[in-house]
Amino acid sequence: MAGAVLFNPERATDPLAIAGGFAALLLPYSVVGPFAGALLDRWDRRRVLIFANLVRGLAIVASAAAVGLGASGLGLFSLALLAEGVSRFVGSGLSAALPHLVPEAEVVKANAFSSTVGSVIAVVGGGCAIGLRAVLGSDNVGSGYTTALAAIGPVVAALVATRFVRGVLGPSAVDEPSNPVVAVARGLVDGGRAALAAPRVTAGFIALFAHRASFGASLLVTVLLMRNTFTSHGLFRAGLPGLGQVAVLAGAGIVVAGLLTARLITAFGRSRVVLGALLLAALAQAGLGLPMLLPTVLLASFVIVGAGQVIKLCVDSSVQLDVADEARGRVFALYDTLFNITQVAAVSVAAAVVPTDGRSTGLLIAATLCYLLGGAGYVLARRRAHSQ
């Protein structure tokens, strides 16, 4: 649904249009984030997961009906954004609840497992959409039926969530104001204070935001190269099939990261793993991205996304282990909000300077430097942690 309604690479023909598609896809998370964080630290997270999934299912069904009836414009756009935005309650709720479900020593492995399985299921979902459109038709009615079937996932998720005992997912304590409006308004501020009070979390944020900024710029370059410059050759495809190959290789990078991250942390420690991932991403950005050749760009997508997922898993575990349970939801909400704003800002800035064919050596050099600056910032923040 996100691809068809919010970001259609076949219709977005210039850098600014593509940047607008990314903004539409990601900014709803930033709007919903403060509400999700405050409520996840206030209400029973089991209840939040149940109702958020049901609301998401209803939004998907409404979107499907609109697609089937041939609707377009603001109404359809708003329904799709609602479905995307409500997903923040689910994603942040799962992250905040995870330490209640596994031993502390297994948090990194559990994060890696959930992220890896989630990526695999996302690829399976995309394949199902392609297959169902072939069976049900690619017109408005067929697309509507295909979209409606996406509601099965949230409904099943809500039913599974009902099987948890009340209170088992947290929060174990509440430190928010009694007025829910004030609690929501203060959500990001409290999340920021909690993150700053945990220097390892602050350091992880610096590393991850450096990755998202660099990744946003290189992703825009990749889309433009695939659309306007590259031509298919043998196994390597350009255009929309090429973007599909990028997505598959990126998913493979996430799977490999999920399999290796816990082992790497055990062997080398979290700080060395984060710095190594930043350095690997910088080398891939310069060595594989700068030639701007179809095979190297595809390989770069595997390496850079895999390295970024390693960083994310390290940051997730830092938040879960170093932030108190009563503030964890707000920190994850802040995390999501800044995470997506950083990528949208990077794509927007890149769109203002990149040529339509995507060939911008200066932009990729800047993306490489961003990784190196992120590594330097991470080291400085970690030193603050050791000095306390």
12: left (phi over 0), alpha (psi -120 to 50) or beta: beta
SS3 236: strand
Sign of the torsion angle spanned by Cα atoms 191, 192, 198, 201: positive
> What is the length of the chain?
388
Q: Which amino acid is residue 162, in one-letter code?
A: T
Residues 6+ apart with CB under 8 A from 152: none
Q: In this prediction, what percent of the chain has a pLDDT beyond 90?
A: 34
Q: In this prediction, what percent of the chain has a pLDDT beyond 70?
A: 88
Q: Which residue from 28, 161, 189, 2 is spatially nearest to 93, judged by alpha carbons?
A: 161
Asked if the model's pLDDT at residue 6 lies above 50, the reply is no
CA distance 41 to 145: 37
CA distance 298 to 245: 7
CA distance 337 to 88: 10
Q: Convert the pLDDT of each residue in 327-374 to its tens digit.
A: 887 788 788 778 888 888 999 999 999 998 889 999 999 999 999 999
Asked if the model's pLDDT at residue 313 lies above 80, the reply is yes
CA distance 161 to 144: 27
For the record, the structure tokens of 195 come out as 């993150």
Residues 6+ apart with CB under 8 A from 106: none
pTM: 0.77
- Residue given tokens 């067929």 in the structure block: 142
Mean pLDDT, residues 198-220: 93
Cβ neighbour number for residue 17 with a 10 Å cutoff = 14
Helices (H), the chain: 15-40, 45-68, 74-97, 107-136, 140-149, 152-161, 180-185, 187-196, 199-228, 239-268, 270-284, 294-322, 325-353, 361-387
The reported pLDDT for the residue numbered 86 is 81
Asked if the model's pLDDT at residue 381 lies above 60, the reply is yes
Q: Convert the pLDDT of each residue in 74-88 to its tens digit.
A: 677 778 777 877 877
Average pLDDT, the chain: 84
Query: 72: buried, middle or exposed (CB in 10 Å: 19+, 13-18, 0-12)?
Result: exposed
What are the residue boundaries of the structural domains of the chain, listed by start?
A: 2-168+180-387
The reported pLDDT for the residue numbered 157 is 93
The answer to which of 23-27, 111-115, 123-127 has the lowest mean pLDDT is 23-27
Q: Convert the pLDDT of each residue in 21-69 to its tens digit.
A: 677 667 766 666 666 666 777 788 899 899 999 999 999 999 889 888 8
CA distance 210 to 224: 22
Three-state SS annotation for 149-160: HCCHHHHHHHHH
Radius of gyration of the chain from its Cα atoms, rounded to whole angstroms = 21
Asked if the model's pLDDT at residue 13 lies above 70, the reply is no
Structure-derived torsion over alpha carbons of residues 242, 221, 87, 304, reported in degrees to the nearest 10: 80
Does the domain made of 2-168+180-387 have the CATH classification 3.40.50.300?
no
Residue 9 pLDDT level (bands cut at 50, 70, 90) = very low
- Rounded to the nearest 5 percent, the helix, strand and coil shares of the chain are 80, 0, 20
CA distance 355 to 79: 33
Mean pLDDT, residues 295-301: 94
The reported pLDDT for the residue numbered 208 is 93
The answer to which of 180-194, 263-277, 323-337, 349-363 has the lowest mean pLDDT is 180-194
